[in-house]
Amino acid sequence: MKPTVVKIDNLVKRYGELVALDHFSLEIKEGEIFGLLGPNGSGKTTTINCLLSLLSFDKGEIEVFGREMTPTSYDIKREIGVIMQNVAVLDELSVRENIDYFCGLYIADKEKRKACVEDAIKFVGLEDFVNFRPKKLSGGLLRRLNIACGIAHKPKLIILDEPTVAVDPQSRNRILEGIQELNREGATVIYTSHYMEEVEQICTRIAIMDKGRKIAEGTKDELKGMIRNSESVSIEILELPDDVREKIAHLPHVYETEYDGTKLTVRCSGGRHNLIRILAVLQEAELGFGRVYSELPTLNDVFLEITGTALRDSKE
């Protein structure tokens, strides 16, 4: 069994009457890319700040690498790289100088630091921009610089708090691929986001947070197995008599139907031939229809069923 890198036990954090973390517990094993998924205000960033001892908390315990984490645990913090949502670089320094400065906070040896800086520059693909000041970089390149500053010292634990906010698709893909490469090189990663597609793409295990509580945890397949919806069938159709819709609603494994006048959505729980049965009912009724597609459940479906709110609708 792999060792535990992060252990959070029964964490409570209050801001006056507001409970930001409500008896939150978490355990992350070495080598994982662990996703914290939830809307803004769910407690993701508060969890990270408590984990790093940047915030005090009212109750609970936090261990990193098997040792208690405190504000003065500098030996532990040297093994952690942090990339927060807000870009934190120095405008007066060039790309290379920024990375060297932040790497120098951890590595004193100049030759070793120089090699680490060059590795970080290549890793994020900023070779053509090493002499640029941050203000001359695009949003995506600035995010890459922010990541390079956080990982240049080759930390064992890397924490990324929504690193792809407001970046272009090309930079987003580069960042996600980079995270997976860091993990393959041995880093344990904590990745927070409200973009369910990113979490589903890269994370080996996921915890869904809402209102300071952990409401579900597991691999993406385990999370999807917790909900009733196993398949959603959508059919573009301009005419759907009530008796036909009722017949579809009584098919095996169908538990919900919706029709808005142009599209029929049928949600199924289990079963292997749901689409075939639905189309057979429409063909028997001699009804014409357009595009047909079947979707497996997403993490948003998990969040919707557990909380009653779609994650994409609750980000703001």
First vs last C-alpha separation in the chain: 39
Q: How confident is the model at residue 312 (pLDDT cuts 50, 70, 90)?
A: low
Residue written as token pair 């169908």: 254
| SS3 category, 79 | coil
Give pLDDT tens digits for 37-70.
Answer: 888 888 999 999 999 999 999 999 999 999 999 9
Mean pLDDT, range 277-302, rounded to an integer: 92
CB atoms within 10 A of CB 99: 29
Q: Do the beta carbons of residue 103 and residue 117 sit within 8 Å?
A: yes
Alpha-carbon distance values, 309 to 119, 164, 182, 224, 229 (Å): 43, 23, 33, 16, 15
How high does pLDDT run on average in the chain? 92
Buried b (16+ CB within 10 A) or exposed e, 297-316: bbbbbbbbeebeebbeebee
What percentage of the chain reaches a pLDDT higher than 90? Answer: 74
Give pLDDT tens digits for 182-202.
Answer: 999 999 999 998 788 889 899
Mean pLDDT, range 291-296, rounded to an integer: 92
Mean pLDDT, range 65-77, rounded to an integer: 95
Alpha-carbon distance values, 118 to 114, 147, 205, 235 (Å): 6, 14, 31, 53
Query: In the chain, at which residue ranges do the beta strands (DSSP E only) sit?
Result: 4-15, 18-29, 33-37, 59-64, 67-68, 80-83, 157-161, 188-193, 205-210, 213-218, 231-236, 254-259, 263-268, 292-295
| Rounded distance between C-alpha atoms, residue 92 and residue 90, angstroms | 6
What percentage of the chain reaches a pLDDT higher than 70? Answer: 97
Position 311 scores a pLDDT of: 60
In this predicted structure, the answer to whether residue 271 has a pLDDT above a threshold of 90 is no
Position 316 scores a pLDDT of: 42
In this predicted structure, the answer to whether residue 218 has a pLDDT above a threshold of 70 is yes
In this predicted structure, the answer to whether residue 155 has a pLDDT above a threshold of 60 is yes
Out of 146-155, 250-259, 305-314, least confident range: 305-314
